[in-house]
Structure 1
């Protein structure tokens, strides 16, 4: 067990082996989720139809998604919610590869 350290130094996250692994996993997860999010958001212009309407609809979908994320974290906790959302995202991206172009 790590004794409490009130120094506020981020180097504390890398001193302990278990905490270091958890921190690196969180950093990787944040980086991957951010890259996927921005990649999908910036790709809305290449969808069929009006690019402005596509961008508006993708932004509109985020409103209930944010409320749903808060609700699911309150109901099930952070870990199952993150695992479920990452699994759905991964399956959706793999499914998009199976859809033919055009």
Structure 2
């Protein structure tokens, strides 16, 4: 009896988060295009949404969003050489930084 109660009770982490649709909308405001798919992942104990978007130019971007409040953690352009992707980050003031210097 008690086991079922605990298995069905959402944890605080599960209760306090944005929806998948909200993550899509947040990502599209930063990277216009077509959403290819949205994943939820646990990174270092933190729930994040990974939104993959294809732009009109055919470039694919991954937008990583903090699930608890919708803050964008990073925007990364995907390419064939995944070890050398350009990274785009937002600082604490939500300012855009291109660390690839392109």
TM-score bracket relative to the smaller structure: 0.3 to 0.5
With structure 2 as the length reference, what TM-score do the two structures score? 0.34
In terms of fraction of residues, the more strand-rich structure is: 2
TM-score after normalising by structure 1: 0.34
Could you say which structure has the greater relative contact order, defined with CA pairs below 8 angstroms and 6 or more residues apart?
2
Higher share of residues assigned helix: 1
